[in-house]
Structure 1
Amino acid sequence: MSSNLILSAILFSIDRKLVNTSSEFILKVRETFVIKTKGKSINLVGVLEQQEQRPQEMIHSTVLLRTKSSRTIASTQYWTVQVPRSDINEFLKARLELLKVAKGQKGISLNIGGNKYFAQTVTPDILLIFITDIDENDRNVTEKIDAAAKALGEILEQKKIPFVKKNYEKLINPFVHSKLKVALVGEGGVGKTTTLHLLMGKRPPTQYIPTIALAMEVIENIHFANYSLVLWDFAGQERFRKLWKLYFQGADIVFLLTDSTLRNILISKDMFQMIRRDAPHVPIIVIANKQDKPNALDPSIIERIIGAETHPLVAIDLSYRNDILKLLLDTAAKHVNIPVPDLPADDLLRFTDEDEDVEQEA
């Protein structure tokens, strides 16, 4: 197996903080692997120590305001939770009382109106506020708001308030968003890449081009609440399956696709059992694609063979898009323990342009 293929799997599996459903893996320097690829040497640090998972924070709103006047400069809302201005005013009043006795102590949150409030000074006259669910971890949110306030402060040393106001969402999102990795797996030709196109509302590919390990298609511009969904379409050919264990362990959710033929269903059953063995805590969603074909088995039969609930799909048919979006949303929300309002998936998911840049001042 070439070093390039090994490299692609390791780069997917290793992240500075790679979170799955059961644990957080943190890079610890004990040994370095040097892999030569296309004439370049790349140093990779092994993932060597497993620690307790730190919960992923549900930050549903942020506010940037003037400290003296309490006037809002900019704000963001990531979920359906409405924050009354009266609650913000109550928080600001309570914070002033707290500052009188805190004696420089930082990172103290306040519970107001069923939400938890965090604040950090950006400049002497600008305050940043994060509003979260009541049960969020104070240390984790404090780390995020501290980093965001520092970055905004550095920007304001170079730019003016109108620039920050205009670009606020793009500037604050990297400090608010958490990533959920969603792996699309299945034998080659079952429709994984077409399913990615369907999720984005794009026309399906006109011909089948096998995905290989070094050409994975990745979508990173689907968001719900303060989460960014990272969808990976990984090679399904048998020669790449030795790399799958790393791949599964790097995922938060696995979508297992079958083409609904008996032959492929039996292969998918083996895949299902392999994922269960190698990544027992990762939820697996089984998708029965190509339900429009004459030899397609009914999902009710497929789920009896595989042993898991199975959802029908025709990935080349755009009318299935709402169904697959709703399934993606419900699965991701359940994974991070967020209740989903009774609204269309399109109202709760946000799609951004991957090429969006911060606008510069004229």
Structure 2
Amino acid sequence: MPASNLFNAEEILDGICGWVRIESPTYEPERVNRMMDEAEGAMRALGAAIERIPGTDGYADVVKATLPFGDDPDAPGILVLGHLDTVHPGGTIDGPLQLRREGDKVFGPGIYDMKGGMYLAYYALRQMLKAGQKPALPVTFLFIPDEEVGSPSTRAMIEAEAKCSRCVLVPEPSRQGNVVTGRHAFLRYRLHIHGKPAHAGADNRAGRSAIRAMARLIDRLEGMSDFERGITYSVGVVRGGQWVNVIPIECTAEVLCVAPTEEAFAEVQATMAALKPDDPEVTLVVEPGPVRPLFRASEGTMALYEMARQLSEAEGITLTHGQFGGGSDGNFTGALGVPTLDGLGVRGGGPHTHGEHLLVSSLEPRARLLAGLFESIR
């Protein structure tokens, strides 16, 4: 593993904070592209060949940065996979989630999920090169712009790149110090309910409220969650109605379903296909959305974990692993059977909330682990 004096937590933190200051909510592609510009510049400074793939379907660009290390620059290499979009809307950094430090915790939008991890991977490679060390295989960084909405515009690209790679490293946030060797499947759906119009103040009973029907359906659907088995249904977005004095005739809801096994995956699909409204005078359309497939640990993934475990053990750190919820682009690569080690990013907590933070104490050890993997994978 590279010498310890190459890694400095405060230096890493400064770099991460620079990226966090560039807010990049998924649905604002111009902001995400400013973040892509920053990542492109950082990788170009390392000597990477840059391919900037224009965004599609209203999302921002993808940045692919390749460094041809090793004896054969065309050999399958290491893919570093992660996203630079966040769930936090523009202006969050000036309001409810200001960039600030409280002891070991540093708060900010995307600092944990997952700008911290992608900067960490870049920094680890940069410090190796500064020390005159190089990975034994080519390294490609793929910066994704739409992971937080299921990677609908980039899944095919991610899978194609993974199939050409020896292995995939995903610096998504650490799970309480663990790395991730598997992830539950995630299924997204959009529900559309159509009701019957009426004047809300004059003839209320003549109408059928799409909002009321959706509220009942949401309560029933979320009540189907089986937490002991890890099967969950959650509605996070609801839209409906136009005027308060008109019975609403349209309502939509977005559903996120989690399935930890193949059997649970099939059960969720069957449940969603069989959904019906309580009121026969309203209609329901269930629209399937992006799916993150089940990622089960393969032999190759466990070999990567064992390598990481030994590197950590040499530093006096116990590194555990497991299959977890919280989808990532590692779902796609792991489901293909490509050796994938996920959860290599920063430690912290509060993802997708106004309490999102990293732990400064995790930065140097995690950078050293990533550098050790770059050095050891052959």
Specify the TM-score bucket, using the shorter chain as the normaliser: under 0.3
Indicate the structure whose relative CO is greater, using CA pairs within 8 Å and at least 6 residues apart: 2
Could you state the TM-score of these two structures normalised by the residue count of structure 1? 0.24
Could you state the TM-score of these two structures normalised by the residue count of structure 2? 0.24
